[in-house]
Structure formats: structure tokens, C-alpha cells
Structure 1
């Protein structure tokens, strides 16, 4: 098997007996393994999660390119940049000259984050079709500047606008919070994974539903572990009774 065919989504590694049979390609299988390892290492506060994450999002970008999900391809670019930044932030001192520690958001930032999330989910769920159409168009045009010669795909209306909007917005916020070692990122990942399991199961993509079920348990463990670490670091949840105004 040459290197080019390895990246082909039609190069099946194994057919999983779920539904009518799910043909998992080599690139999807490897990308999924690296994604699971990335989240597990992050839950253990290991900086090694970032190189695994970079490989994961790169492989998934190739997959989304092949199946013409250009909005998701562009999302992988954001995750790639966030992983690069997170790797830097976790290994370099902050402005105060101290390395980042696991901690909770302050009350002000928590309320601001919740407000942004609610507003962004509401707007995206209302305008998700034109937003992703614009993302797909801009991605295709950018790739065609590199002589990719891609035809603009016909995009069907989103079947789950609210849930897709929640997955997208909360994933972006969670990734940013993870790069700064805020405990709340794991709460968001738990919610994202619960929604994802439901959406993928409803669409009959059972292999993805199983993957996100595994990610759900890893995120739950990450939340438990980081909450304990934050407590040792002297940080408490912003809305806890112990926190003064």
C-alpha cells in the first residue's frame, strides 16, 4: 500500500458490523486512535496530548476534504492552530513568569463565557445553513487558488441545526479553555459528547456514536481529575459558596 492510497477514505481497514456495515478506512482508524489518545493525555494534564492532537486534526481535515464537508475542514484548521497555541502555552511561563496551572474561571469570565455561548448557539442555529455554505465556499475558493480544481458541492439543509450549532460553538469554546487549563473545558466536552452521541446515533453512524461514547467517559474522567487538581492549586468554582464577590 503506497502513501497516497493510505490517505484514501475508500481504502478500508475493517468493516464494522453496525447497521448495514460500516467500512472504516485506514486514515479514519488512525485519526480516531490519535484523537482518543489526545483527549486521554489532556485529561491527565500531559503536554504530549498536543502532538497527538495535531496529527488527529490533520488526518480528519483530509477526510473532510474527501467527503466535501468543507465547513468541518475549516474547523480543523482552527483546532490545528489551537493545538499549536496550547502546546506553547502549556510549556512556556505566563505573563507572570509562572507556568499555567489547572484552575477555574473567575466569576466574571464564567458569566461572560456562558453569555457568549448562549448568544453564539442561538445565532448559529438560526443561520447555520448560510454560515456553513459561506465557509464551504471560502474553503473551496482558497483550495482552488492552490490549483485543487474543486467544484462547489450542493449542500443540503442541516437536519439538526440546534444540536449542530451547540456542538460547533461549545467545541470551539472548550478547546480555547483547554489551552488555558480551565476546568470548565471538560464540562463542555462532556456536553458536546453527549449531544454528539445522540446526533450520530440518530443519523445511523453508529461507529461515530461509539467513539463519542468513549470520549464521553474520558471527558468525565478529565473533569474529575482537573477538579481535584484545581482544588490542590487553591482554585474553586466561581459560583461556589466559598467564593466571595
Structure 2
């Protein structure tokens, strides 16, 4: 059995008109993603191990289905998971004080909001060009390793604004998580709700259900981390 092939079927899920063929690699990758988010909500460092497995498996999936821009995003998530693991386990007095669960301060929140809005607007208007360049860059990088990748025919983005929101907010949320800022869970709730809506409209019902579960985990993350931030009684990050 070729575990890494998307054609190696685990189960056929009777959802939608034609159902959904769930492969082994997608099932394991999704399970690791759920474990990563669930453990992160409980401030368990081991979440990063499952996060790394998740992004590596999803990178293989995106390569096979020729979603090179999504593959490139997984590279960022891989680096963020490695950094987060390092930051959460670094044993120094100043580091431990800095990485207590806390809220962002008003100035920092305003700055991040402004940067996010600008980035979303730029990506919305140039998303096809940006992803086209990402795809070309990814193909060049893959070919450097002798993988003989070919640039796929790129269709215009179906939902440019919402796709831009998910991409930018995912990057920001991942950065926030590595710094243990409570706002990361609020962003994940927003991202997951957008994902549920888009996947439902696209008829990808299995992924819609997955992101419904992730939304519930993220809501619980807001609750747990808000409580922990109140217990820490530390100042908000400016």
C-alpha cells in the first residue's frame, strides 16, 4: 500500500451527490491537525509534533493535486511549528515570563489589524498574480530537486476576498500562537467559519465537517486561554 498516494482509499464517505473518497494520507493528516489544535488549546508543547506531521502530509497532498500555492503556505507553517516548539520549550526566566498566555495590548492589536487589512486588500486584488508567482517559484524549487514538476493551468480564484482572508489570517494566527497571544484563537474561529462556508459552497462536505470541528476546538481555545490569561494577571503586550 502506498500510504502517501491520494489514490490509496481508506473509506468512501456518502456525502453530497457523489460522496467523498477519503485517502489514508488525508485521514492521518487531518487527525494530526485536529490533535495539534486540540493540544495547543490546552497549552501542550507536543501539539507542534502533530502540527509538523500535519503540514508535511498536506504538503504531499497539495503537490499531488497541483495546488502549489497551498504547498508553499505549508512551508511557512512548517517553519512556524518548528519555531513555536523552540519558543515554547526554551528554558530561560525571561522567555518563560514573555511566553505566558496573555492578550495583545491596544497598540499592538491596532498595528496587527492595520497590517492584516492592508495585506488582505492587496492579496484580494492581486491574488491570481501572487499565487501564479508562488506556483512558478514552487515548481522551480521542486525541479531543483529533480522532481520534474510542471506548472498547472491556474484558473481564476473563485472567492478572492475570502481566500485572501483565510491566507493572511492563517499566517497571523500562527504567529500569534507561537507567542501565546489569546487572539490567535479568535482568528482561528473566523478562519474556520469562512472555510466551512466556502467548502460547503464548493460541495466539499467532508472538509466542511472537519472545519466545523476545528471551529468548536478554537472556541474552546478562546475560553481556556482567556481564563489562563486572567490567572496570569500580566500586562497586555503593547
Using the TM superposition, give the Cα deviation of residue 94 of structure 1 relative to its aligned residue in structure 2, in angstroms: 5.9
Secondary structure of 2:96 counterpart: coil
Deviates more, 1:21-30 or 1:87-96: 87-96
Structure 1 pair 140–95 and aligned structure 2 pair: CA distance change class (3 A): farther
Structure 1 residues without counterparts, runs of 5 or longer: 239-244
Structure 1 pair 114–97 and aligned structure 2 pair: CA distance change class (3 A): closer
Partner Cα distance (2:143, 2:95) in 1: 44
Equivalent position of 1:86 in the other structure: 84
Q: Of 32, 35, 40, which aligns to 1:42?
A: 40
Give deviations 1:155-189, integer Å, cap 9, x for gaps: 00000000000000000000000000000000000
Equivalent position of 2:5 in the other structure: 8
Q: Of 11, 24, 28, which aligns to 2:26?
A: 28
Structure 1 pair 96–153 and aligned structure 2 pair: CA distance change class (3 A): same
Using the TM superposition, give the Cα deviation of residue 237 of structure 1 relative to its aligned residue in structure 2, in angstroms: 6.6
What does 1:205-244 align with in structure 2 at a 5 Å threshold?
A: 205-235=204-234
Q: How many residues align?
A: 236
Using the TM superposition, give the Cα deviation of residue 98 of structure 1 relative to its aligned residue in structure 2, in angstroms: 3.0
Using the TM superposition, give the Cα deviation of residue 138 of structure 1 relative to its aligned residue in structure 2, in angstroms: 0.2
TM-score normalised according to structure 2 size: 0.96
Give deviations 1:197-230, integer Å, cap 9, x for gaps: 0000000000000000000000000000000000
Equivalent position of 2:135 in the other structure: 136
Is the contact made by 1:104 and 1:182 (CA closer than 8 Å) also made in structure 2?
Answer: yes
Is the contact made by 1:125 and 1:165 (CA closer than 8 Å) also made in structure 2?
Answer: yes
Partner Cα distance (1:170, 1:119) in 2: 12
Equivalent position of 1:17 in the other structure: 14
What does 1:119-198 align with in structure 2 at a 5 Å threshold?
A: 119-198=118-197
Partner Cα distance (2:203, 2:12) in 1: 15
Partner Cα distance (2:50, 2:150) in 1: 32
Partner Cα distance (1:67, 1:202) in 2: 20
TM-score normalised according to structure 1 size: 0.93
Is the contact made by 1:50 and 1:83 (CA closer than 8 Å) also made in structure 2?
Answer: yes
Partner Cα distance (2:24, 2:95) in 1: 43
Matched, 1:110 2:109: yes
Equivalent position of 1:73 in the other structure: 71
Structure 1 pair 6–160 and aligned structure 2 pair: CA distance change class (3 A): same
